[in-house]
Amino acid sequence: MNAALSPLIEYWKQRNSREQLILLFGAGILLLALLYSVVIYPIATDRARLEKSLPALRADTARFGRDLALATGKNSGQKTDLAGLATAAGLPKDALRLNGSKQASLHAKATAWPTITKLLADAQTQGWALKMLQVNSPDGDATVDVDVEWQR
């Protein structure tokens, strides 16, 4: 192995201390760039992708649970309440306000649009009529700020 490294060792010995410092600094920068591109960037992009898809996955899981309960007959005629639908969709608990059993309102920021549309559809199947819907997309992305009011 020394035979393979001997030209590099000889090259290193021929450099003065300032050149060695510059070469070490350049190698450090190259190592950091390689570390970022191979390890950090892929993890960060996957994490962002998962954060965006998590509410939809939670809603799918909740739908699957409801469908399974209906198929196996374990639902016994009870309907999932609106708070359960919102929680299953991944919305924070304080986003939904129930005003008795006849009215509800939702105020959520930076929520995935497919999550909102699925929640609206699920609420309609549970007997909630849409009274008011106000949607704003401040960043022009797939996330929206939404204000919704339902009544039964």
Per-residue pLDDT, 91: 85
Q: What is the pLDDT of residue 75?
A: 54
- Give pLDDT, residue 76: 47
104 touches 98 (CB < 8 A): yes
Six-digit token string for 30: 């190259």
Tell me the average pLDDT of the chain.
85
Helix (H) or strand (E) holding 112: strand 103-112
Query: What is the C-alpha to C-alpha distance for residues 110 and 145, in angstroms, rounded to an integer?
Result: 5
User: Exposed, middle or buried by CB within 10 Å (0-12, 13-18, 19+), for 39?
Assistant: exposed
